[in-house]
Structure 1
Amino acid sequence: MQNIPSVDLSDFLSDDPKRKQKFVNEIGKAYEDIGFVALKGHFLSDNLVDNLYSEIKKFFALPLETKHNYEIEGIGGQRGYVSFGKESAKGKKEGDLKEFWHFGQYVEDDNKLKAEYPDNVTVKELPEFNKVGKETYQMLEKTGVYVLRALALFLDLDEHYFDNYIKNGNSILRPIHYPPITSEPKDAVRAAAHGDINLITLLMGAQGRGLQVQNHKGEWLDAIAQPDEVVINVGDMLSRHSNNRLKSTIHRVVNPPRENWGTSRYSIPFFMHPISEMPLNCLENCIDSEHPKLYDDITAGEFLTERLIELGLIKK
């Protein structure tokens, strides 16, 4: 039994208004209640998923000195390789037990944004790595567009409200490697409890135990998806924009039982970000006498910078 609701994007994409509305109601209620769903009917093929896992396993198996060649100074880890233990959750001193890679936006028609974002980093040793990463990025982005259209309808906005904010948005695809644990971790876990920064996160690789979400009672639930499902959660930007109507849920990746310490874990989240100019001001139709405005006005770019400083990825 899954602890998070399962929804099917093909309902939203159908020509049947009842099925479309059913999807809007289901995903909206899930995000009001717990902030996570498992989604079928996305645009990732099994073949693409297999190819991506194959490529990222090859990359993380490269010698450390080779990987370090792809760690780019001065860009807050926004592209390329980020080495083991570099990132910590907000409020935590201990670095998470993971290393990861960042693919970023592929801007083709906006020179201003092209100049704003760092370039993607090409791995010379693996000729297919960047090609497969780009295709996965674009299929997850396409999936996210429709999820946000459904959420716009749920919030009584125009269906295409988010479209121009997420076109060429500052989204990130992050293949993560949690290496085998070789000694007793001192207060460190694979990913400490945190909320995501962005609008929504689409996660590949939640088939095994490890990912846990916290419900409103403070209980931790295992978030396990079926092999054909992508787990999608609300991030802090969307929670803030909806005046907390849609919940950004605290989640974590716990260390495995000791008998499984010798195994690696891989997961691949896609952090869907808008363009930096997007105002995250609380939506007027999410504010009333029972739900007063909770947050100050801020842009997505300002909010992202604040959070990257808190995470230790950029220095003040």
Structure 2
Amino acid sequence: MNVQVVDYTASDAPEKFVQSLHETGFGVLKNHPIEQELVESIYKDWYAFFSSDKKHDFKFNVDTQDGYFAEEVSETAKGHDIKDIKEYYHYYPWGKVPEELEAQLKEYYAKASALAAELLTWVEKHSPDNVSKLYTEQLANMIKDTPNTLLRVLHYPPLKGDEEEGALRAAAHGDINLLTILPAANEPGLQVVDKDGNWLDVPCNFGNLIINIGDMLQEASGGYFPSTIHRVVNPTGEEAKKSRISLPLFLHPRDEVVLSDRYTSRSYLEERLRELGVKM
């Protein structure tokens, strides 16, 4: 497996990027248009938020899924029975958010969503004809005016040594959505499984942007683009004493978008949320 690091500014970037997505489910961009200073400021300010008691004032809404999710209500990855070691905040432009943190999240959300739309045009342009004919509408149009794209601010706390046996910061899983856009986190740990079942580190130089296929795009492409299984492993030694902040944007279509003969975007999402145990 070769997860390519592609220069966003290169003339052949779209083709190389989509090739990497097809072969591995992942692509990594450098020299992309999202400013590192913005990402770093979000990491800094949200680390302070997760370190405060104020987070409990923003408990998540079960129906709308926005707000703060404490570690005890964290996700259990599909096929696992141990919760991940993480807490996180779900941000939507229409949802609740601490007032002093809203501007930076709103800016990042807009810029990352615009880049995601461009990347979807790359994906569609470089899909084989037999795959592109499966798309029920233009991929970029699937997210036009969508209220469903989710920005998750993740905090993986320092390990205490008393974690449940087998618990990981994020157990092996695939994402639900079309594409996930993820700035390299402030600490390493992201791994992807190859076709032979080996776990490989994803290139995560600070400043890179990591993009992976979600289950919805795998469904819409008839499996041509694989929703590759990935995880975040626990650090050891001194690294275990550090927090890890992560900022994935999960690109979700509008509810009514038809993914395949089996699913709309909404029906697929509802099924997966029940499997994750975050919605009944």
TM-score of the two chains, using structure 1 as the length reference: 0.81
Q: Distance in 2 between matches of 1:56 and 1:120?
A: 17
Question: 1:228, CA displacement in angstroms?
Answer: 2.2
Q: SS of 1:10's equivalent?
A: coil
Alpha carbons 2:185, 2:245 under 8 Å: kept: no
Q: Indicate the larger mover: 265-274 or 34-43.
A: 34-43
Aligned to 1:52: 42
RMSD: 2.0
Question: 1:270, CA displacement in angstroms?
Answer: 0.6
Q: SS of 2:257's equivalent?
A: coil
Q: Bigger radius of gyration, 1 or 2?
A: 1
**Taking structure 1 as reference, are residues 42 and 85 closer, same or farther at Cα in structure 2, changes over 3 Å only?**
farther
Q: Distance in 1 between matches of 2:156 and 2:200?
A: 20
| 1:265-291 CA-partner distances (Å, limit 9, x unpaired) | 11111101111111111xxxxxxxxxx
Aligned counterpart for 1:239 among listed residues 198, 209, 218 = 218
Q: Distance in 2 between matches of 1:120 and 1:98?
A: 21
| 1:240-275 CA-partner distances (Å, limit 9, x unpaired) | 111111111000000001432211111111101111
Q: SS of 2:262's equivalent?
A: coil
Q: Distance in 1 between matches of 2:278 and 2:245?
A: 21
**What amino acid does structure 1 have at the position aligned with 2:26?**
F
Matches within 5 A, 1:274-293: 274-281=253-260
1:103 paired to 2:91: yes
1:122 paired to 2:109: no
Alpha carbons 1:174, 1:270 under 8 Å: kept: yes
**What amino acid does structure 2 have at the position aligned with 1:180?**
P
Alpha carbons 1:213, 1:222 under 8 Å: kept: yes
Matches within 5 A, 1:157-172: 157=132, 161-169=138-146, 170-172=148-150
1:174 paired to 2:174: no
Matches within 5 A, 1:1-316: 4-11=3-10, 19=11, 22-63=12-53, 66-75=54-63, 78-86=65-73, 87-104=75-92, 106=93, 119-124=94-99, 127=100, 129-155=101-127, 156=129, 157=132, 161-169=138-146, 170-185=148-163, 186-206=165-185, 208-281=187-260, 296-315=261-280
TM-score of the two chains, using structure 2 as the length reference: 0.91
**What amino acid does structure 2 have at the position aligned with 1:161?**
Q
Give the total of aligned pairs: 272
Q: Distance in 2 between matches of 1:230 and 1:302?
A: 29
In the TM superposition, structure 1's runs of 4+ consecutive aligned residues that sit over 6 Å from their partners are none
Question: 1:140, CA displacement in angstroms?
Answer: 0.8
Q: Indicate the larger mover: 50-59 or 269-278.
A: 50-59
Structure 2 residues without counterparts, runs of 5 or longer: none
Q: Indicate the larger mover: 40-49 or 2-11.
A: 2-11
